[in-house]
Amino acid sequence: MQPQLHQEMLAISNGIDLKRFNPANDPEPARATYNLPHKPILLFVGRMDKEKNVDIVLRAVAAARKVVDFHFVAAGHGAEERKLKKLAQSLGIAEQVTFTGFVPDELLPSLYAAADCFVNAGIAELQCIVAMEAMATGLPIIGARAVALPELIHHGENGYLFTPTIMPSLRIM
């Protein structure tokens, strides 16, 4: 018997440890560590690098804060971190944004629990484990309609997708 050469394949994503990432996690350790306000929190977790489009998120935060009172938390570090902090300052939202830098593994579940919504504007997400961790914690996701995110986000059900546009990235620095 010859093996079939054209078998249907099923892609299986990385699993998420549901004991670590779940809606029952305590938000207080992250709130205390990062001095987060008790108001709605929009969260990004990832590298602060160009392809993550955190600059686009900051511009959207500046626009949205004109009608909604919330706080944005950008967790992670990377090559664009300094420029992103300057951008938040120039947009007049530095007081409404917390840049955490590196978040220790043991504090990450608490940080997700402190959030009300997760955002990922990256256009190079092959699996987007952070979005899966956020989803496991029960967060709705706002994500770019690019690569893996549309596989995870069902528009209007567990979050919202947007079409990313090319913007002059961090040119004001």
Q: pLDDT tens across 63-80, in order?
A: 999 999 999 999 999 999
91 within some domain: yes
Percent over 70 (pLDDT), the chain: 87
> How many domains is the chain partitioned into structurally?
1
Token reading at 49: 């690098």
Q: What is the pTM of this model?
A: 0.85
Can you give the residue range of the structural domain that contains 64? 28-162
Model confidence at 169, pLDDT cuts 50, 70, 90, reads very low
16 within some domain: no
pLDDT digits 0-9 by tens, 100-158: 999 999 999 999 999 999 999 888 766 788 988 999 999 999 988 887 777 887 888 88
**Among 99, 86, 137, 113, which Cα is nearest to 30's?**
113
pLDDT at 22 > cutoff 90:
yes
**Among 121, 106, 141, which Cα is nearest to 25's?**
106
**Quick one: average pLDDT of 24-53?**
96
11 within some domain: no
In CATH, what number is assigned to the domain containing residue 132? 3.40.50.2000
Question: In a 10 Å sphere around its CB, with 0-12 CB exposed, 13-18 middle and 19+ buried, how is residue 72 labelled?
Answer: buried
Percent over 90 (pLDDT), the chain: 64
90 within some domain: yes
CA distances from 106 to 83, 100, 138, 155 (A): 28, 14, 18, 31
pLDDT at 172 > cutoff 50:
no
Token reading at 46: 């990832």
23 within some domain: no
